[in-house]
């Protein structure tokens, strides 16, 4: 297995749009043609739109786009901008009288980083679609990663900046890529080494979220103010949405290796998996490749993030 560029997987375009002053943004993945997709949600606090389309028992076999955004549940309005962009181009599921663009969306909570009254909306998502290309997408403080942070167990004053990252691998003819906006309650690890997360009380170095959690008998404060890691997997393997749901589930192993703790009730951790090609591929191989790609994408997201909004990046400590 070797590393490749994320866009080498093929069959899609990616676009960012953001409001840097307000510390929020969105990232859209536009499929070149309707693509089968699956979804696995492990966190206890998700905000999503049209997610039921991806249930294995739902009628829809494929979708047109996935949107990741900030804004918490307020940001769910943004998907309308993606639908408008696609409708104007005659793209969508043909229902006879028109074509209905099928757009799935998940949101993360970034309201406590910049301005809580400014969220991704339809205009921002439309701009992301206009920005979408087959060039490698920017990483770090962009798109859905603009307001991302990690290590928030003791509040934002001890958190760190995170962002958006990608990574892709190839084994034989199979290609699998990961895209992720890392906005976790917990800490981020590169292998066994913690690279970002909860800072010590003095703000001069890293503490350890799990160790501090284990010292608490009860939880003080509201842990819901700032979380949810959102990811997407793309593969050229020809898989149906039931198989892709399994791939999405296996990809959460990448979350678990890179983020500690993960999948808490204060996170809405979600992963989409999309098939954008027609290559034969075993679902277990694809899922294992996806977990590795996601783990590396999370690390890249954190390493690419720069200090902003009074939150230090991982290179600042």
The Cα 306–Cα 146 span in angstroms is: 10
pLDDT of residue 268: 86
Tokens of 51: 């997610």
The Cα 91–Cα 306 span in angstroms is: 37
Residues 6+ apart with CB under 8 A from 207: 154, 158, 197, 198, 199, 200, 201
Determine the 3-state secondary structure of 15 from DSSP.
strand
pLDDT of residue 282: 97
Residues 6+ apart with CB under 8 A from 182: 145, 148, 150, 162, 163, 164, 165, 188, 229, 259, 298, 301, 302
HSE-CB for 244 with a 13 A CA cutoff: 29
The DSSP element (H or E) to which 231 belongs, if any, is strand 230-237
Domains of the chain: 2-316 (3.60.70.12)
pLDDT of residue 219: 60
pLDDT of residue 74: 96
> Average pLDDT over the chain, rounded to whole?
95
pLDDT of residue 43: 80
Tokens of 45: 């606090």
Query: Which phi and psi (to 5°) does residue 34 adopt?
Result: -55, 130
The Cα 222–Cα 308 span in angstroms is: 23
pLDDT of residue 220: 55
Contact assessment for residue 300 and residue 261, using Cβ atoms and an 8 Å cutoff: no
**Residues facing 167 on adjacent strands:** 178
The Cα 159–Cα 164 span in angstroms is: 17
Q: What is the pLDDT of residues 32-58, one digit of tens each?
A: 999 999 999 998 778 999 999 999 899
What is the dihedral angle through the alpha carbons of 244, 226, 265, 285, rounded to the nearest 10 degrees?
A: 20
Which residues in the chain come in under a pLDDT of 50? none
Write the burial class of residue 178 (CB in 10 Å: 0-12 exposed, 13-18 middle, 19+ buried). Answer: buried
Classify the phi-psi angles of 236: left when phi > 0, otherwise alpha if psi is within -120 to 50, otherwise beta: alpha
């Amino acid at each position: 297995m070797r590393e490749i560029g994320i866009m080498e997987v093929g069959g899609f375009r990616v676009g960012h749009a953001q409001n840097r002053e307000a510390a929020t943004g969105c990232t859209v993945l536009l499929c070149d043609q309707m693509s089968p997709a699956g979804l696995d949600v492990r966190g206890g606090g998700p905000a999503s739109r049209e997610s039921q389309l991806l249930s294995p028992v739902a009628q829809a076999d494929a979708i047109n786009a996935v949107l990741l955004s900030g804004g918490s549940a307020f940001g769910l309005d943004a998907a309308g901008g993606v639908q408008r962009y696609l409708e104007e181009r005659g793209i969508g599921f043909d229902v006879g009288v028109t074509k209905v663009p099928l757009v799935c969306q998940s949101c993360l909570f970034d309201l406590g980083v910049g301005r809580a009254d400014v969220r991704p909306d339809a205009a921002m998502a439309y701009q992301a679609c206009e920005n979408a290309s087959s060039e490698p997408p920017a990483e770090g403080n962009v798109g859905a990663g603009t307001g991302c942070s990690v290590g928030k167990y003791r509040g934002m004053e001890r958190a760190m900046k995170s962002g958006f990252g990608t990574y892709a691998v190839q084994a034989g003819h199979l290609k699998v890529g990961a895209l992720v906006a890392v906005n976790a309650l917990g800490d981020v690890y590169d292998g066994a080494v913690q690279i970002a997360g909860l800072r010590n009380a003095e703000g001069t170095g890293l503490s350890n979220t799990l160790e501090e959690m284990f010292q608490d008998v009860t939880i003080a404060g509201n842990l819901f103010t700032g979380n949810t890691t959102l990811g997407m997997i793309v593969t050229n393997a020809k898989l149906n949405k039931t198989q892709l749901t399994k791939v999405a589930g296996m990809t959460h192993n990448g979350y678990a290796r890179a983020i500690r703790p993960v999948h808490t009730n204060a996170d809405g951790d979600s992963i989409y998996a999309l098939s954008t090609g027609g290559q034969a591929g075993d679902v277990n191989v694809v899922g294992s490749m996806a977990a590795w790609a996601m783990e590396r994408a999370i690390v890249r997201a954190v390493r690419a993030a720069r200090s902003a909004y009074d939150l230090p990046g991982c290179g600042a400590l």
